[in-house]
């Protein structure tokens, strides 16, 4: 059968439709673990693989390390046969392998695909013929065919013949009201037969599957989604700086502009970008575009603006303290919120960490409160040893300034406004022109 037909994978697709296909999820982080739970809930025999032994041990105890996955969800999954391991050997049991490993940037904002490459090298010796390999990690157009396809072919696996190779980017939105089942799934296979396998799987998990012509198109789709947001956030952040210089409340302006029923989508300024996607994904495309002689000036400019926002926020704090006759050096500063967005525990690329780094270098005494992040994270870039404090009147009054970085809904905003000596509001949570409150 030629590679454009569905016949090579008829048995696999039937097994998927019957929800008997064993699925191995590699990488049990913010994407992989929720996906594994959804697969289990849908009735698929599922196993998880992660190189972090502490994650595996906690999951074996039905103990979650993500706020989006409860202990009960893990226990329910285990009752349905879910198990996890550090060993890639479990891939030998699977008809479907889904890769959800990190794809960070290097020191010079170049794509770091080492996790993807190491994963492929480790799984291929255990891969069974006529299985499906699906990459969900965000990356640049061409990754699936340039990084996954060659090692598969060297091992005797040929997409559309004896392996299905698919790119299907994750579309998680932690902390939002979106039900994962209602978020359409975009995917593209190396051949039409590969696409058919991917569609068969994700049709069991989501209400709508959007198939595109190739993995490259699917990879570009994911980048466009996040670049669209990054550029619009960069625009509104620049508008915030301009409006502030003019004495205009940017949040009032956004609310008024949003009354227009067409041609305007509101985006909101903040202290910078965070999360794994929006601060990182645009640079995957700018890096790859150079290979084609294209300079993505618009995207890079938005990145520069968003990257500069933590410095802008610290500058507003410094000016506010100076106006009170106080220097940043030696001042006690309380950060409210370490997570990159409200109502989640994810601190990846959080602007709060960049702000803390700058404050410490300026000689401030920094502490924080975040009900979702009880311990300050240690990252490849930053390693802070700052205390996590409760939120009460005594703590608020004991600090020269309180900086609202992440506006979790559960924070007591009336207490904060009443007790903070100086409040730096980076989220527009408090009314403008209030004594002791500075918009930043």
What's the distance, CA 282 to chain centroid?
13
Q: 111-117 long-range contacts, Cβ below 8 Å, gap at least 24? A: 111/139, 111/140, 111/283, 111/284, 111/287, 111/288, 113/139, 113/143, 113/147, 115/27, 116/143, 116/147, 116/148, 117/147
129 touches 162 (CB < 8 A): yes
Collapse the DSSP code of 113 into the 3-class scheme (helix H, G, I; strand E, B; otherwise coil) and give the result: coil
Cα distance between residue 113 and residue 293, in whole Å: 22
Taking only the tens place, the pLDDT of each residue in 41-69 is: 999 999 999 999 999 999 999 999 988 89
Domain 7-212 is of which CATH architecture? 3-Layer(aba) Sandwich (3.40)
Instruction: Give me the CATH topology for the region 237-439.
Output: Rossmann fold (3.40.50)
- Give me the residues of the chain with pLDDT under 50, please: 1-6
The candidate with the shortest Cα–Cα distance to 284, out of 115, 105, 116, is: 105
The candidate with the shortest Cα–Cα distance to 158, out of 8, 46, 362, 375, is: 8
Distances (CA, A) of 226 to 31, 136, 172, 284: 16, 15, 12, 11
Choosing from 84, 194, 277, 376, the catalytic residue is 277
pTM: 0.90
Through-space distance between the first and last CA atoms of the chain, rounded to whole angstroms: 62
CB count within 10 Å of CB 74 equals 24
CB count within 10 Å of CB 160 equals 24
Q: Is 410 a catalytic residue?
A: no
Q: Which two tokens stand for residue 105?
A: 């940037």
Tokens 């509104």 found at: 236
Q: What is the pLDDT of residue 2?
A: 40
CB count within 10 Å of CB 122 equals 16
Q: What is the pLDDT of residue 274?
A: 86
Collapse the DSSP code of 439 into the 3-class scheme (helix H, G, I; strand E, B; otherwise coil) and give the result: strand
DSSP string covering 158-173: -BTTTEEEEE------
- Please list the residue range(s) of the chain that carry CATH number 3.40.50.720: 7-212, 237-439
Q: What is the pLDDT of residue 176?
A: 65
Bridge partners for 96 per DSSP: 23, 132
DSSP string covering 39-83: HHHTT--EEEE-S-HHHHHHHHTT--SSTTS-HHHHHHHHHTT-E
Residue 365 phi/psi, 5-degree rounding, is -95, 115
The candidate with the shortest Cα–Cα distance to 338, out of 392, 374, 391, 390, is: 374
CB count within 10 Å of CB 428 equals 21
Q: Which two tokens stand for residue 185?
A: 């799934």
Collapse the DSSP code of 258 into the 3-class scheme (helix H, G, I; strand E, B; otherwise coil) and give the result: coil
């Amino acid at each position: 059968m030629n590679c454009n037909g569905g016949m090579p994978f008829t048995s696999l697709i039937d097994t998927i439709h019957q929800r008997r296909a064993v699925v191995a999820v590699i990488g049990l982080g913010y994407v992989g673990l929720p996906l594994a739970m959804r697969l289990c809930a849908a009735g698929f025999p599922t196993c998880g693989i992660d190189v972090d032994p502490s994650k595996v041990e906690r999951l074996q105890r039905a103990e979650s390390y993500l706020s989006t996955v409860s202990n009960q969800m893990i226990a329910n999954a285990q009752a349905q046969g879910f198990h996890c391991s550090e060993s890639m050997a479990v891939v030998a049991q699977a008809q479907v392998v889904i890769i959800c490993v990190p794809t960070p940037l290097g020191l010079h904002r170049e794509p770091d695909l080492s996790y993807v490459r190491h994963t492929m090298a480790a799984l291929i010796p255990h891969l069974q013929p006529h299985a499906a390999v699906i990459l969900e990690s965000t990356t640049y157009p061409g990754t699936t065919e340039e990084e996954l396809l060659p090692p598969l072919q060297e091992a005797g696996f040929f997409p559309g013949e004896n392996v299905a190779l698919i790119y299907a980017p994750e579309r998680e939105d932690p902390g939002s009201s979106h039900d994962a089942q209602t978020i359409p799934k975009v995917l593209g296979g190396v051949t039409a037969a590969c696409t058919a396998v991917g569609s068969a799987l994700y049709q069991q998990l989501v209400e709508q599957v959007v198939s595109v012509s190739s993995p490259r198109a699917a990879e570009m789709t994911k980048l466009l989604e996040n670049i669209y947001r990054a550029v619009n956030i960069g625009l509104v952040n620049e508008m915030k700086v301009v409006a502030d210089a003019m004495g205009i409340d940017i949040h009032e302006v956004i609310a008024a502009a949003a009354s227009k029923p067409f041609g305007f989508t509101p985006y909101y300024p903040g202290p910078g970008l965070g999360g794994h996607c929006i601060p990182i994904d645009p640079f995957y495309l700018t890096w790859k575009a150079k290979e084609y002689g294209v300079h993505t000036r618009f995207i890079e400019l938005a990145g520069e603006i968003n990257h500069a926002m933590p410095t802008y926020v610290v500058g507003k704090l410094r000016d506010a303290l100076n106006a009170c006759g106080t220097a940043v050096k030696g001042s006690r500063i309380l950060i409210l919120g370490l997570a990159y967005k409200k109502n989640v525990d994810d601190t990846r690329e959080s602007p709060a960490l960049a702000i803390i780094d700058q404050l410490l270098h300026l000689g401030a005494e920094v502490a924080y409160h975040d009900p979702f992040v009880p311990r300050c994270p240690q990252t490849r870039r930053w390693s802070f040893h700052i205390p996590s404090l409760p939120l009460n009147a005594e703590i608020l009054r004991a600090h020269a300034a309180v900086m609202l970085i992440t506006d979790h809904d559960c924070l007591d905003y009336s207490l904060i406004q009443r007790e903070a000596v100086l409040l730096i509001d980076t989220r527009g949570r408090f009314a403008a022109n209030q004594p002791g409150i500075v918009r930043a």
